[in-house]
Amino acid sequence: MTMRPRLRSLAWLSAGLLAGLAAGLALPIVRGQAPAKPAGPLRSARVTWAEAPATRADWGELRAHFEGETFGLGGALAAVAVIKPGQENHPPHQHSDEEFLFVTEGSGRWHLDGKEFPAAKADAIYAAPWVMHGIKNTGGVPLTWVVFKWNSKGVKAPEAPKKD
């Protein structure tokens, strides 16, 4: 029997998950300055959209609200990206970190482990280490998504798979 997670409202995602992660993934950021690498774990903080360091490109923008080491994570990223219609922030890729990705507005196509799936509001994927993944906006309005990416302290990241 396959166990499926119970669906919860988007309010749970935005309130519960963000609040819970923010407690451990926080870093004070001064608007207009690159965040300094903190000594030790990130500090608890609130970071607004306007305060989050932005990466802007032809495809749209990504705001990295929290980035760095936490008490339990060797490296973490909590960010929001907005992708323009017909664009993707980068082609499908892989890395040693784990990721949760959640669509909050718009629609597009997920790429996950060689397969393509529709991506719509409140949909999510989990990408294990070294699994190819990505998202493209195939809709007519901006696609907004949230990413939580991390590697754990004390847990060795899996080695990259050998290419045939």
Closest CA to 133 of 143, 125, 142: 125
pLDDT score, position 56: 97
Which residues make beta-bridge pairs with 144?
Answer: 82, 105
**Is this model's pTM higher than 0.85 or not?**
no
Residue boundaries of the structural domains of the chain: 11-26+42-152
CATH number for the domain formed by residue range(s) 11-26+42-152:
2.60.120.10
**Per-residue pLDDT in tens (0 to 9) along the chain, 164 residues:** 444 444 343 333 343 343 333 333 333 333 344 455 557 799 999 999 999 999 999 999 999 999 999 988 888 999 999 999 999 999 999 999 999 999 999 999 999 999 999 999 999 999 999 999 999 999 999 999 999 999 888 888 778 888 76
pLDDT score, position 158: 79
pLDDT score, position 85: 98
How far apart, in whole angstroms, are the C-alpha atoms of residue 68 and residue 110? 26
Question: How many CB atoms lie under 10 A from the CB of residue 153?
Answer: 13
Judge residue 9's burial from the number of C-beta atoms within 10 Å of its C-beta, 0-12 exposed, 13-18 middle, 19 or more buried.
exposed
